[in-house]
């Protein structure tokens, strides 16, 4: 029986043991509450606030990155549009310069051709006039030589005068 009694006394706590255990537990709770829990809770709250601030900063940074990305895409789009406009303007300018140069060269070629035609016509007319003068001179010289040989005697002179008179009367 003694072993059951010892075992039973171990299982059943005594009133003094319960009192001292409760008093020690309450005293421990008061000491922990005053000295340990406040700093622990303050540290936990500080840590929690730091984590919340870090999360808010990360969210702000993420939003700023999104805004920057959107802004960069808009800037790139604007730059592409401006580049395309500049290239189109350069092409248009090139085309207009080429067209202007072609028109100018065509007009200059037409002017040169017109001038050349005019010069050729003038030279042709001068050559024809010169040729006519030479033909007239030659004709006069030939006629003079023929007349001298034909009019060398009196009978031929009288016959020529008669022929000329007949022609004059007919006209």
47 domain-assigned:
yes
Domain count, the chain: 1
| Domain limits for position 93 | 23-170
* pLDDT per residue as tens digits for the range 147-164: 777 667 777 777 777 877
4 domain-assigned:
no
14 domain-assigned:
no
55 domain-assigned:
yes
Six token digits for residue 65: 């990155």
94 domain-assigned:
yes
49 domain-assigned:
yes
16 domain-assigned:
no
Instruction: Give the whole-angstrom CA distance, residue 94 versus residue 102.
Output: 12
Banded pLDDT at 8 (limits 50, 70, 90): low
Q: Which residue has the higher pLDDT, 83 or 141?
A: 83
pLDDT score for 171: 47
0.85 exceeded by pTM: no
Instruction: Give the whole-angstrom CA distance, residue 74 versus residue 67.
Output: 10
Give counts: helices (H), strands (E), the chain: 4, 0
- Token look-up 């309450």 returns 26
């Amino acid at each position: 029986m003694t072993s059951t009694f010892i075992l039973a006394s171990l299982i059943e706590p005594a009133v003094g043991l319960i009192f001292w255990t409760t008093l020690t537990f309450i005293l421990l709770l008061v000491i922990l509450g005053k000295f340990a829990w406040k700093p622990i809770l303050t540290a936990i709250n500080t840590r929690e606030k730091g984590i919340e601030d870090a999360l808010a900063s990360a969210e702000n940074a993420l939003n700023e990155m999104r805004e920057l990305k959107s802004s960069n895409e808009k800037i790139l789009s604007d730059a592409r549009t401006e580049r395309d406009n500049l290239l189109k303007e350069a092409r248009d300018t090139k085309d207009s310069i080429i067209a202007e140069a072609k028109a100018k060269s065509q007009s200059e070629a037409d002017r040169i051709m017109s001038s050349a035609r005019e010069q050729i016509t003038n030279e042709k007319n001068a050559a024809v006039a010169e040729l006519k003068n030479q033909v007239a001179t030659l004709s006069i010289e030939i006629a003079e030589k023929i007349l001298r040989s034909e009019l060398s005697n009196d009978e031929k002179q009288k016959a020529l005068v008669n022929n000329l008179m007949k022609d004059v009367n007919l006209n």
